[in-house]
Amino acid sequence: MKLLPTRKSKQSDAEPEANGEDSGMSARELAVHHSTHKAQDVAGWVDSRTNATGIYTAMLSRHVPKGTNWFYTLGSATMFIFAMQAITGVFLAMYYVPSITQAYGSITHLTNEVFMGEFVRGLHKWGASLMIILIFLHMGRTFFFGAYKYPRELNWIIGVVLLILTTVMGLTGYLLPFDQRSLWATVVANNITGTGPIVGPYLADFLRAGPEVGATTLSRFYSLHMMVVPGLIAALIGAHLFLVVKLGTTAPPWVRAGRPKGSRPSETVEAGVPATDGAGVTAEEALAPAEVDSPAAVADDAAEAGTDGEEVSS
Amino acid sequence: MNSREKEEYLREYEILKKKGKPFFPYAIMKDSVMMLIVAAVMIVMSIVMGAEQGPKADPTTTTYVPRPEWYFFYLFELLRVIKPPELTPIATIGIPTICMVLLLLLPFYDRGAERIPWKRPIASVTGILVMIAMAYLTYMGAVAGSPTEIEKPTASQYEAGKLITAESGCLACHSIGENGAHGGLGPDLTHIGAKLPRQAIKRSVAVGPGIMPSFDGLGEENLNQVADYLASLD
């Protein structure tokens, strides 16, 4: 079915092409006209296979609830930092050599000789600190606004795992420059891991990959820092975002849907105008269920709603 | 949260969502401004503070005392607060693991319907206390200073001895001025020169009385410089 509009546009395309001169179009206009249709064809081709525009619309034209404020930018800011870390990390990887004999020298070369090398390394280094700060702020907002409660429990869990993985990135990245700080901080971190009950010593052995922190440790940390953990983080950010789009961001807890106040009728009118969105729901209609909040009605509703799983219809 | 409260929340949320604004352009606008601010902060930090490189890793050194990244200070400080060695696993693995499990399971034991921070005092107070504890431990970890750093000013002829003293890890047990292990294993060395003659100091460093290890391995010349420096502290 999706292919139909594409075919139609191709047919209509052919017409002006054949009678180009008659319709008074210049060659250039025709070319532009033609390429626009071609672009539409390409978009249609991609869309029929991916539903890209559907996803795009679902993400962008969804409503954020009333009262959403600057605190709600912390999550996207954290994601932005992750993207920056990925990009600067790729550039650093172009020069970095993960071997104990060459790692330090490659960082010296990168810092002192490569164009903008120190700048990119600085971005990556300070970006890590900023990412930790932002992820904690984002978590603080979620905690104090009670946003981890029903129906967003799973998103909280994914968020905590993302926090842990981010600190793992901080830890594994620390060894890579292979200066004194890197080495000894890693030795300490490894010893700390080793004191853990039951799995501690095994985990420490796995991370160290040998009798002491050395060549294999470095390549192990490198692959964890470069591939395993960033991959997990990217996948979990995807899941996190999917749930945000599906369930919506919370409104600040003190913002209530409210009832039209008799003393200030103008407020109802103002609120009603933007509320008339595509679905054609007026504020009065939307507010109607909230007004019949008598215990009996609620009990009926609850009985009809049935199990928990069916309630998440948004 | 019972099913009635869940129903009520979803209904209320639907209304708030209808009263809200579309994600594009309103939320996107705010997000973009925030991202620009974050990018600006990153760029300024990178330009102002750069990315320094320490001395090359050397597994044979015994005197280097590492410092973690600042965001691990609170964990590091926890280790210093909990002193008895048999409790070390509790500080290193126990407390962080318990905290992480509590954090992960939060939505499953905090099941109340209330979301307003000041109407759920237990959660809010706990959150604030945890934040204060982490901030305090981070601060303590930050001001503790490196155990290889002696800030007490010295006459220039004793600088060499001061450096050797610092790098030999004396401050892991002793304190000199503001630096070092206050109330640690060894006595305060701030005024050691007034209490002990130079020869006694040198002998102590070389022999290592009591539980103190011998620093004879430093060599005669280094020992003399350390003794000169310590004797100058009065």
**pLDDT, tens digit (0-9, with 9 covering 90-100), for A238-248:** 999 999 999 99
Mean pLDDT to the nearest integer, B184-191: 78
In chain B, positions 23-62, which contact chain A (CB-CB < 8 Å)?
23-24, 26-28, 30-31, 33-35, 38-39, 41-43, 45-47, 49-51, 53-59, 61
| Strand partners for B188 | B175
Residue B62 — very low, low, confident or very high, per pLDDT cuts 50/70/90?
Answer: low
Q: Is any Cβ of chain B less than 8 angstroms from the Cβ of A162?
A: no
DSSP of chain B, one letter per residue?
Answer: --HHHHHHHHHHHHHHHHHSEEIIIIIHHHHHHHHHHHHHHHHHHHHHH-----SBP-TT-SS------GGGHHHHHHHHHS--GGGHHIIIIIHHHHHHHHHHTHHHH---S---GGG-HHHHHHHHHHHHHHHHHHHHHHHT--TT---S---GGGHHHHHHHHHTTGGGT-EETTEE-TTSSSPB-TTHHHHS-HHHHHHHHHH--TTSPP-GGG-HHHHHHHHHHHHT--
In this predicted model, which residue has the larger pLDDT, A296 or A22? A22
When comparing pLDDT for B77 and A6, which is higher? B77
For residue B101, name the pLDDT band (cuts at 50, 70, 90): very high
Q: What is the pLDDT of residues A247-288, one digit of tens each?
A: 999 999 998 877 544 444 444 444 444 444 444 444 444 444
> B86 contacts in A (CB within 8 Å)?
none
Q: Given this model, what pLDDT does residue A195 score?
A: 79
**Interchain CB distance below 8 Å, A149 and B123:** no
Whether the pLDDT of residue B74 is over 60: the answer is: yes
pLDDT for A156 equals 97
User: What are the chain A neighbours of B78 within 8 Å (beta carbons)?
Assistant: none
- In this prediction, residues B106-135 reach a mean pLDDT of 94
A99 contacts A176 by C-beta, under 8 angstroms: no
Q: Which residues of B touch A79 (CB under 8 A)?
A: none
The pLDDT, as a whole number, for residue A295 is 45
Provide, rounded to the nearest whole percent, the portion of chain A with pLDDT above 70. Answer: 72
Q: What is the pTM of this model?
A: 0.73
**Identity of the residue numbered A47:** D
Contact A290 B89 (CB under 8 A): no
Q: Which residues does chain A have within 8 Å of residue B113's beta carbon, measured at their own beta carbons?
A: 149
The pLDDT, as a whole number, for residue A297 is 43
* Res. A205: pLDDT tops 70: yes
Cβ proximity of A225 and A124 under 8 Å: no
pLDDT at A313 over 50: no
Q: Which residues does chain A have within 8 Å of residue B92's beta carbon, measured at their own beta carbons?
A: 192-193, 195-196
Beta carbons of B22 and A62 less than 8 Å apart: yes
Q: Which of A60, A62, A73, A282 best probes binding to B when mutated, by most B CB atoms within 10 angstroms?
A: A73
Between A51-55, A288-292, B226-230, the lowest mean confidence (pLDDT) is in A288-292
In contact, A248 and B13? CB cutoff 8 Å? yes
- Whether A161 has a pLDDT exceeding 60, the answer reads yes
Least confident of A195-209, A300-314, B130-144: A300-314
CA distance A28 to chain B (A): 34
Q: Is A56 on the interface with B (CB under 8 A)?
A: no
The residue among A212 and A138 whose pLDDT is bigger is A138
Amino acid A296: pLDDT:
44
Query: How far B187 CA lies from chain A's nearest CA (Å)?
Result: 26
> Above 60 in pLDDT, residue B83?
yes
Which tens digits make up the pLDDT trace of A35-93? 777 888 888 899 999 988 888 888 888 889 988 899 999 999 999 999 999 999 999 99
pLDDT per residue over B207-221, tens digit each? 878 777 778 878 888
| Residue B149 at interface with chain A, using a CB cutoff of 8 Å | no
The closest alpha carbon to A100, from A182, A8, A199, A20, belongs to A182
- pLDDT of res. A23: 52
Buried b (16+ CB within 10 A) or exposed e, A23-46: eebeeeeeeebeeebeebbeebee
Q: Give the per-residue pLDDT at A24.
A: 59
| Separation between Cα atoms, residue B31 and residue B39, nearest integer Å | 12
Share of chain A above pLDDT 90, in %: 49
Distance CA A152, CA A74 (A): 17
pLDDT of residue B174: 81
* B31: nearest CB among A76, A121, A178: A76
Identify the pLDDT of residue B63: 62
pLDDT category of residue B124 using cuts at 50, 70 and 90: very high
Q: Do A179 and B10 touch (CB under 8 A)?
A: no
Which residues, in sequence order, are bridge partners of residue B180? B175
User: How much is the pLDDT for A52?
Assistant: 86
Would you call A269 an interface residue with chain B, using a CB distance cutoff of 8 Å?
no
Question: Is the pLDDT reported for residue A135 higher than 50?
Answer: yes
**Among candidates A143, A136, A206, which has minimal Cα distance to A164?**
A136
Q: What rounded mean pLDDT belongs to chain A? A: 79
What confidence tier does A191 reach under pLDDT thresholds 50, 70, 90? confident
Which pLDDT belongs to residue A58?
A: 83
Q: Comparing C-alpha atoms, which of B224, B228, B234, B233 is closest to residue B157?
A: B228
- C-beta atoms of A118 and B28 within 8 A: no
E strand or H helix that includes residue B6: helix B3-19
Q: What percent of chain B has pLDDT over 90?
A: 33
Minimal CA separation from A138 to chain B, in Å: 13
Contact B42, A82 (CB under 8 A): no
